[in-house]
């Protein structure tokens, strides 16, 4: 299927936004859209020639599985995010859909050629890569020293910020994109601890739970305070 960049929901914000219309059309001819259902995998660790992709809608997780079969979530990908290890001979991590997701995928060699042909694209991907690096380091900072409660508070804060339209304030209410188990894997905790600490955050009045996935921010300042930032 061919792509219609003009109706793409992230045509202003994704890496391809820096291309001219003609250049973008040329890339579109090489790309394909793909839809993943929750739990479906885009590629697995070890895959050779793993595709690259821009996420249009939905959410993905990047995760590693250690020797004991424990999963560790290393990053979340939001719309306009770019996925793909451009210079590695094989993928180092799994990439799985958290919700139904639409992607715009490209074969590795097509992306590699595009980077050669369109310097602006290389710069855009560099920018995105540095942003990803910063996000990963922020997560590393969090899981390094902070208490379970602080980690959870920080994650909720981030989710509330991500769920808001404007980038400067928090959403008052949102649904967790992750299960308890996934939150635990991301923060280096266990399911039980996540559940308990969510209860404690509710007791202190920072948040309120609404069903299994819903979170209402009751006291954003307190939440930020607990997160230690």
Partner DNA sequence: CGAGGAATTGAGATCCCTCAAGAACAGTGG
Partner DNA sequence: CCACTGTTCTTGAGGGATCTCAATTCCTCG
Do the Cβ atoms of 59 and 99 come closer than 8 Å? yes
Main-chain dihedrals φ then ψ at residue 46, nearest 5 degrees: 100, -15
User: What value, to the nearest 5°, has the Cα angle with vertex 204 and ends 202 and 209?
Assistant: 10
Which one of its own copies, DNA, none is in contact with 20 (Cβ closer than 5 to 8 A by kind)?
A: none
Which one of its own copies, DNA, none is in contact with 85 (Cβ closer than 5 to 8 A by kind)?
A: its own copies
Residue 92-131 contact track with its own copies, rule CB under 8 A, x = bound: xx---------------------xx--x--xx-xxx-xxx
Could you give the residue ranges of the DSSP H alpha helices within 62-118? 108-117
* CA dist., res. 134 & res. 64, Å (int): 19
Main-chain dihedrals φ then ψ at residue 120, nearest 5 degrees: -65, -35
Least CB distance to its own copies at residue 99 (A): 22
Which one of its own copies, DNA, none is in contact with 126 (Cβ closer than 5 to 8 A by kind)?
A: its own copies
Which one of its own copies, DNA, none is in contact with 72 (Cβ closer than 5 to 8 A by kind)?
A: its own copies
- In this structure, what token pair is assigned to residue 33? 């859209």
If binding is defined by CB under 8 A, does position 48 make contact with its own copies?
A: no
Main-chain dihedrals φ then ψ at residue 168, nearest 5 degrees: -95, -20
Site for its own copies in 199-228 (CB under 8 A): 228
Do the Cβ atoms of 188 and 148 come closer than 8 Å? no
If binding is defined by CB under 8 A, does position 192 make contact with its own copies?
A: no
Per DSSP, the three-state class of 56 is strand
Least CB distance to its own copies at residue 69 (A): 11
CA distances to 80, 114, 115, 128, 197 from 125, in Å: 11, 11, 9, 5, 38
Among 88, 82, 97, 96, smallest CA distance to 49 is for: 88
Residues that bind DNA (CB under 7 A): 147-149, 179-181, 188-199, 209, 211-213
Residue 129-148 contact track with its own copies, rule CB under 8 A, x = bound: xxxxxx-xx-xxx-xxxx--
Least CB distance to DNA at residue 58 (A): 16
Site for its own copies in 54-73 (CB under 8 A): 62, 64, 66-68, 70, 72
Residues forming contacts to its own copies in the complex (CB under 8 A) are 62, 64, 66-68, 70, 72, 74-75, 85-88, 92-93, 115-116, 119, 122-123, 125-127, 129-134, 136-137, 139-141, 143-146, 185, 188, 228-229
């Amino acid at each position: 299927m061919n792509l219609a960049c003009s109706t793409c929901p992230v045509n202003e914000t994704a890496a391809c936004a820096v291309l001219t219309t003609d250049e973008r059309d040329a890339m579109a001819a090489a790309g394909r859209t793909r839809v993943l259902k929750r739990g479906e995998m885009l590629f697995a660790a070890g895959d050779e020639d793993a595709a690259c992709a821009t996420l249009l809608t939905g959410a993905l997780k990047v995760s590693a599985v250690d020797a004991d079969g424990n999963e560790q979530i290393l990053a979340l990908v939001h719309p306009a995010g770019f996925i793909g290890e451009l210079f590695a001979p094989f993928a180092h991590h799994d990439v799985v859909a958290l919700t139904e997701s639409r992607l715009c995928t490209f074969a590795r060699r097509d992306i590699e050629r595009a980077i050669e042909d369109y310097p602006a694209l290389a710069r855009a991907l560099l920018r995105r890569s540095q942003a990803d690096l910063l996000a990963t380091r922020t997560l590393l900072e969090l899981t390094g020293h902070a208490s379970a409660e602080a980690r959870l508070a920080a994650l909720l804060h981030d989710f509330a910020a991500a769920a808001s339209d404007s980038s400067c304030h928090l959403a008052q209410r949102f649904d967790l994109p992750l299960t308890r188990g996934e939150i635990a894997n991301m923060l280096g905790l266990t399911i039980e601890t996540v559940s308990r600490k969510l209860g404690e955050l509710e007791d202190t009045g920072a948040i309120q739970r609404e069903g299994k996935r819903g979170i209402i921010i009751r006291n954003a300042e307190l939440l930020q305070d607990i997160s230690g930032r």
